[in-house]
Amino acid sequence: MFSALSNSVSLLLGLRYTIARQRSRSVAFISRVTMMGIVLGVSLLIVVLSVMNGFDKELRERILQIMPQVTLYQTGGMQDWSSLREQLLSNEQIIGVSPFVELQAMVNVGKNTEPTLIYGIDHQLESTTSIIHQFLQPETRLALRNNKDAIVLGRGLADTLGVNIGSKVSVIVPRAEGQSVPPAIRRLQVIDVLNTGTEIDAALALMDIRVAASLSVHGESTYGKPISVDEKSHNVDDKPLVVSGIHLKLDDLFAAASLANNLQAQLPYGFYTTNWTRTHGNIYYAIQMSKKLVSLLLLLIIATAAFNVVSTLVMVVLDKQSDIAILRTLGASNRQVIAVFMVQGTVISVIGTAIGVCVGVVLAWFVQDIVVFIEALLSVQFLKSDIYPISYLPAQLLWFDVLLVMAVSLSMSFLATLYPAWRATKVLPAEVLRYD
C-alpha cells in the first residue's frame, strides 16, 4: 500500500481530483465543509489546551507561590518559633520558613463593613516563602515595618469598601464566644492596595507582624489588654513575639501533603498542619479534569470531521466511477486505485490540519489581548477574582500539545480514507462503461 502511495500516477491523480472542480456541486461543498471542520476542531483544541495550561501555570506559579504551601500552627500560639524555624530549615525539602500572625477580622469604613483575613508578616522572612513582595513597592514593605498604623488591602476588598491609598479604616478583631475581653480595635491607614489578579485580592489584608500580634488573642498574655483605637503601641518591638504559626515553602510543590503529615506526626501534641491541597487542591484538580474533558469533547469534533472525510470520499468515488472504470481497463491495480483516493483524503486532512494549527497558534498567542479588547469594547469583565481563581485569561502554548493535536488529526483522517478507497476497488468497469 505504501509503495502504491509513492506511485507518481496515483499521486498525480489524487492531487488532480482534490484540486479539480467536481462534477457534483454537493461533493465540492461537502469537501469544503469537511476541511473547515478539521480547521475548526484543530484550532479550538489548541486554544483550549493553551488556556488550560495557562490556568495550571498561574495556579502553580502565582497563587500557590503567594499563598503558603504548608502551614504549621500551634494551639495557643507559637512562642519559640525562631528555634523551630532553624530546625525545619535543616530539612532538605524545606527551602523557606516565615512566621505569621493570622487575624479573622472585620474592616470598617463608614457604613461599610467587610470580613477579611489579615496576615501579620515579617517582610524580610516572608520573601523566603511567598512572592507577595513582588506585588508591593519597596517603600510599602519598609512602611509596614516602620509605621505601626499601616495596612495593605487587597484590590477587591478596597473596591468593596470604597477606599484608596491614604484612606483610614477601622480594624475590629472579635474574640471567641465566652471571652470577657472586648474586641481589639485599631484605626489604620491604607498605605497600598495589593493587586495580584487572583482570588486573594477579594479578602486579604497585610500588616506588620508585631502590630498584628498586639491585636491577636494569642498576644493578649504578652501584650496585656487589646489595643484600642486611642492607644499607641510604639514600643511593641520590645515585647516578645507570639505568632499564630509559620509558613513553609518546599522544593517540590507536590510533596506538601506528605511533608505536612510527617511533620504533624513528629511534632509534639498541640501542633497541627494544613497544606495547599486542602485550600486550593480542588481548584487544581478541577483544572486538570476540565482540561481532559474539554480535550475529549474537541477530539470528538475532530473525529466528526474525520468521519466527514469518509462521506466525502464515498461521494467522490460515486462521482468518479467512470474514471475508476477507465483506470481499471488500462491496467491499474487495486493498490493504485486505493492510493488515488487515499492521496485525495490525506491532502484534504493535511490542508485542514495545517490551517487549523496556524489559526490555533495565532489565537493562543493573542487570546489574552483579544479578551482584553472585547472586555474594553463591551465594558464587561468576564473573569472576576471573587468568583474565579484569577481575574484574567491566561494562556501558555506548549508545542508538544500542538504536535499531539496534529498527530491525532492526521491519524484520524488517514484512517478515515481507508474504507472509501477500498470501496473504489469494488467498482466493476463493465457495469459502469456499459451505458457510456
| Spatial contact of 212 and 118, defined as CB atoms under 8 Å apart | yes
21 shares a domain with 165: no
Looking at 279, 309, 342, the residue that finishes a domain is 279
Q: Give pLDDT, residue 110.
A: 85
| Spatial contact of 222 and 214, defined as CB atoms under 8 Å apart | no
Q: Give pLDDT, residue 52.
A: 85
205 shares a domain with 327: no
Residue among 241, 262, 245 at smallest CA distance from 74:
245
* Residue 248 DSSP SS3: strand
290 shares a domain with 406: yes
Q: Give pLDDT, residue 227.
A: 35
400 shares a domain with 382: yes
> pTM, whole model, 2 decimals?
0.69
User: Residue 49: which residues within 8 A CB-CB, separation 6 or more?
Assistant: 291, 295, 398, 401, 405
Q: Give pLDDT, residue 219.
A: 55
258 shares a domain with 207: yes
Looking at 229, 263, 279, the residue that finishes a domain is 279
Q: Which long-range contacts (CB under 8 A, 24 or more apart) does 61-65 make?
A: 62/131, 62/196, 62/197, 62/198, 62/390, 63/198, 63/199, 63/200, 63/280, 63/283, 63/389, 63/390, 64/253, 64/276, 64/280, 65/130, 65/131
Number of domains into which the chain is organized: 2
168 shares a domain with 108: yes
291 shares a domain with 274: no
232 shares a domain with 112: yes
292 shares a domain with 265: no
239 shares a domain with 92: yes
Residue among 405, 301, 414 at smallest CA distance from 357:
405
**Interatomic CA distance for residues 11 and 336, integer angstroms:** 9
Q: Give pLDDT, residue 234.
A: 38
292 shares a domain with 253: no
User: Residue 140: which residues within 8 A CB-CB, separation 6 or more?
Assistant: 152, 191, 192
Per-residue pLDDT of the chain (436 residues; tens, 9 = 90+): 444 444 565 556 555 655 555 555 666 677 777 788 888 888 988 998 898 888 888 877 788 788 888 999 988 888 888 889 999 999 899 999 999 999 989 999 988 889 999 999 988 888 889 888 888 888 888 888 888 889 999 988 998 899 999 899 999 888 766 556 678 888 999 999 988 887 788 888 999 998 888 888 765 433 333 333 333 443 444 456 889 999 999 988 888 889 999 998 888 888 999 988 887 777 777 777 877 887 787 778 777 777 777 777 777 767 666 766 766 676 666 677 777 777 777 888 888 889 999 999 999 999 888 888 887 888 777 776 656 667 778 888 888 889 988 888 888 888 887 877 777 676 666 565 665 5
Domain region containing 153: 68-279
101 shares a domain with 232: yes
Residue indicated by cell numbers 477574582: 385
Q: Give pLDDT, residue 96.
A: 92
Looking at 212, 244, 279, the residue that finishes a domain is 279
